[in-house]
Amino acid sequence: MKCEDEIHPLTTLVELLEWNEDTHVSSMCQAILDDIPSLPPLSPSDQPKTLVCHDMKGGYNEDRLLSGCSDHTAYRFVHWSAIDSFVYFSHHFITIPPPGWTAAAHANGVDMLGTLITENDEGVTLCSEIFSSLETVEKVVMQLTNITRIHKFQGWLINIENKVAPVAIGLVIVFLQKLRKAMKGLDQRNLLIWYDSITHDGSLHWQDQLNGYNSCFYEVCDAIFLNYSWKVEYLKASKSYATLFPNLQHFGVAISREAQGKNSTQANCSCDGGSTDHKTDASGGEEYMKECIKCNALTKLSTENWHVKSYELSKFNKIFSGEEKKIYVGVDVFGRNFYGGGGFNTKEAMEVIREQGLSAAIFAPGWCYETLGCEGFTENNCTFWGLLDEFLYQHGPRTLPLYTTFSEGSGDVIYCDGVAMEKKNWFNLARQSLLPNLTQKCGGGGSITLCQSDAYIGGSCLLLTNPSLEPLTVWLWSSCHLHSNTPLKVVVAHKVTCALDQKLDVPCQISIESDSEADNSLLIKFRIWRKEEEENWTKEDDIKVRTSSNYWRLRTTNFIPNKESAITRIGVKIPAAVHVKIGLLCIDKEETEH
């Protein structure tokens, strides 16, 4: 049923099949969904991916409240620039991401996924209902597709953690095929990820690797999320299996025939008006149904065709680069039967995962909040992610305009134009901004953090500290792709104070230029104002300055980018022994008069 100011999961198949926009999406929810920004184009990358599966106290905590709440210490995520996908997770049947999470993810160019989970005895019953007929499967696919479209997220994690009747495995495969096809029909970037749980015969037997027991599910999804009780040798075996897997897809029938002998039967389907027969051998073993990708007809295949040993794959020596990145290795931050023990030692697992070139699925990073408490969460969270920095691949904004107030979606004051308008605690993830790389280590003892004790708009600002006696350059974003054939207008709200006495305002000038070492960068350069240089500064740049009563300065200047290449990095260069607060940054194409 519709709840005006909250969002809830779906717990039964009946609820899912009865779901519709009119009865389950309130006007308040729709208003938030309407404001969710579109995702920028996908950036081509050969790097392994990073997924976060949040699993925070069972899900649907303060974040379920559509208009937010007064608990400004509630859990939030700010390291978006270091991840590619975020799965909102709970132990309810259908987990629909709260729109605040989707808004925050999209503002930072990150995919948001929901979760379908079945587990325990209730899961056995649910699966028997879902996979009882093709008709039911198609209804479930339709409903999941509608929910995805209306709630503007990018796909599903499928987690079946209970045994499934062997005769139903065929319909599980068909379900995954149809759901993936529907997701791609909405948007080609959408994802369907399978959790390593049941095997090809329906047994609940976590493999902790990609192999012949679970590859039938991997083949029809975009990726697999491995269970977290793996060993290093399992990762090596998974990589070997994945890089050779396309050969299995092409030559799987031949492998099966060689392994089992030539006794086989054929199950045929016809498409293209019956003019072409597509034949697939089905040899021995338990049979399941596979859908023809052209005509959607169902044919019987043997589970034995998929149960192929790694040594059989080694007969084919062609390596397909990139396939191993579809393996997301489970990383349990709580350290349950997990390599390295999790917690602040999670970096040990990340290191061996990246050594194999595999993607990572970081499960429950809210460990910092749940086990260490909310009071020191900001510092502990920064420590945790900072330890992982060398194993993460940063990404930045890819479309103009770039606009951020560096809000983390919570605070104890609401600011407007640098002035505290209302002193009250608040939390609302839909009001989170585009955020920079907060995992990096700055040189000279410097730091980059979000600061809630001051802001220009919202509840926080970006704080850059440089206690050293040398200037410091901090790159806010890398791997950007901002292209413009016209000059850019850059607006910066900033406040500069002395490192030794933060109450002492330090007048600064700023210039926008390309870094000498990277011509395709945009560097906001702060320079301490000196009386004798006043004439040069006013002549050097056409800078408009507006100063608020709280020492915030809003400056507007121009930047002429390289027309031949896109801006790939955005940074700030700050003088020695100062702290710089940035409360607003806007980069957009300059309006031209006609």
Report the half-sphere exposure of 275 (CA within 13 A, side-chain side).
2
Average model confidence (pLDDT) across the chain: 86
What domains can be seen in the chain, in order of their start residue? 13-36+50-265+279-391 (3.20.20.80), 402-589 (2.60.120.260)
Percent of residues, the chain, with pLDDT higher than 90: 73
- pLDDT tens across 59-105, in order? 999 999 999 999 999 999 999 999 999 999 999 999 999 999 999 99
| pLDDT-wise least confident of 244-253, 296-305, 350-359, 509-518 | 296-305
- Mean pLDDT (whole number) for 2-16: 90
pLDDT in the model for residue 199: 98
Q: Can you give the three-state secondary structure of 220-275, one letter per residue? A: CCCEEECCCCCCHHHHHHHHHHHHHHHHHHHHHHHHHHHHHCCCCEEEEEEECCCC
- pLDDT tens across 106-137, in order? 999 999 999 999 999 999 999 999 999 999 99
Alpha-carbon span 426 to 414, nearest angstrom: 8
Percent of residues, the chain, with pLDDT higher than 70: 82
Residue 247: pLDDT band with limits 50, 70, 90: low
Alpha-carbon span 444 to 442, nearest angstrom: 7
pLDDT in the model for residue 535: 53
Residue 561: pLDDT band with limits 50, 70, 90: confident
Residue 531 gets the label, from left (phi > 0), alpha (psi -120 to 50) or beta, of: alpha
- pLDDT tens across 139-198, in order? 999 999 999 999 999 999 999 999 999 999 999 999 999 999 999 999 999 999 999 999
